[in-house]
Amino acid sequence: MDAKPRPIWDFVRKNAVMMIALIAAVITSFIVPPDEKYAEYFDCKTLTCLFCVLAVVGALRNIRFFYMLARSIVRRFRTARLCTLALVYITFIGSMLIANDMALLTFLPLGYFVLSASHKEKHMAFVFVMQNIAANLGGMLTPFGNPQNLYLYSKFDIPTGEFMGIMAPPFALAIFMITVCCMFVPNERMDVPDEPVRLPKLRTALYLAAFAFSILIVFRGIPYWTGLIVIPLLLLIMDRNALATVDYPLLFTFVFFFIFAGNMSRIPAVSNVFSGLLKRDTLLFSALSCQVISNVPSAILLSQFTADYPALLVGVNIGGTGTLIASLASLITFREYTYHNPEKKLYYLGVFSAFNFAFLIIMILFMRFIMGY
């Protein structure tokens, strides 16, 4: 009798942030009825860039490109400490190139494969937490590394050099902190089994070219609308499944939050409150807001009330650490870990919270008192 609604409930539960964004958009639409100004809410370039990158990354994942690349690197190391560093660094670098959630979807299974095959499951919670932190903080250096970066980069038309200059100090601190944490893993011997993987040469070349094309769109080298022609056409011919696996709920989350944020900015009382809080401490308030509504919604909402994009950019990036909902990527890691270890949810949450809040506090203090934000 009650079996039919399950798929709907599962969809709602899996995409809770999107559903919250939809509800928020609908509620504020009663306060600010739809009019011609709604068209100004949407950042079409951000949505296009995000779609193109997600689609091409999906195609590369389907031919196991990232898996093969990461596995070949990890197999060079034979101790638990070095393998942990390799897995975390791969995720860190991967988030700079393919976005934080895609990096986790690609490299968390590799972490599980390495640890389970070498019978080192005892390190899994720590490794997954470090991979999660690496994904959230590694992606902050590039405009396309995190979804909120792509939005703010486009929203404020930030020059690429300035963007990377703003994010370089917290990025360097993140590398140092992650490395120090990983050095405490015992230097135990590990053996990773061999599993040969062959890449299709033509598809690999085409997908890498498409990825480079998508990055050029992000960096404003090519008009963004061309991505909506070239990328779907290529994938319709070469890999339709890649188009099907795009994270469309993430795209709709952006759409709904564009409506919500646009409406909120037109409510005088709300505008005065947020503007006042951001004037006092943009970095702190933006980082703390991520703990409650996640970093992508925070970036979209708060960008309506401040012109201090350097502090906002830093805040919503380091704010991805902390609570489990501070970043959508953290939910991906939690889901992956509990899938393999359903009886250790509380243990994982304890390890996750200890390291994430430590990173959050240290990075806020560093950026405020050392860098002057």
What digits encode the pLDDT tens for the residues 181-239? 999 988 887 766 666 668 888 999 999 999 889 878 877 678 888 989 999 999 999 99
Distance (Å, rounded) from C-alpha 165 to C-alpha 182? 26
Q: Residue 142: which domain range? A: 64-198+247-370
- For residue 293, CA distances in Å to 21, 179, 301, 302, 312 come to 10, 29, 10, 11, 15
Distance (Å, rounded) from C-alpha 290 to C-alpha 282? 12
Q: What is the mean pLDDT of residues 328-351?
A: 85
Would residue 105 count as lying in a domain? yes
Cβ atoms within 10 Å of 138's Cβ, excluding its own: 28
pLDDT (0 to 100) of residue 183 = 93
4 has a pLDDT exceeding 70: no
What pTM value is reported for the model?
0.75
Would residue 175 count as lying in a domain? yes
pLDDT, tens digit, for every residue of 35-90?
Answer: 888 887 787 877 887 788 888 888 988 888 877 776 676 677 778 888 889 889 98
Would residue 34 count as lying in a domain? no
For residue 179, how many C-alpha atoms fall within 13 Å in the half-sphere facing its CB? Answer: 6
Would residue 239 count as lying in a domain? no
What's the mean per-residue pLDDT of the chain?
85
pLDDT, tens digit, for every residue of 127-143?
Answer: 999 999 999 998 888 88
Residues in the chain: 373
Q: Specify which residues 79 forms β-bridges with.
A: 189
Would residue 212 count as lying in a domain? no
pLDDT, tens digit, for every residue of 298-308?
Answer: 888 899 888 99
Would residue 187 count as lying in a domain? yes
Would residue 19 count as lying in a domain? no
1 has a pLDDT exceeding 50: no
Note the maximum CA span of the chain. 64
pLDDT (0 to 100) of residue 9 = 79
Would residue 364 count as lying in a domain? yes
Instruction: Report the domain count for the chain.
Output: 1
5 has a pLDDT exceeding 90: no
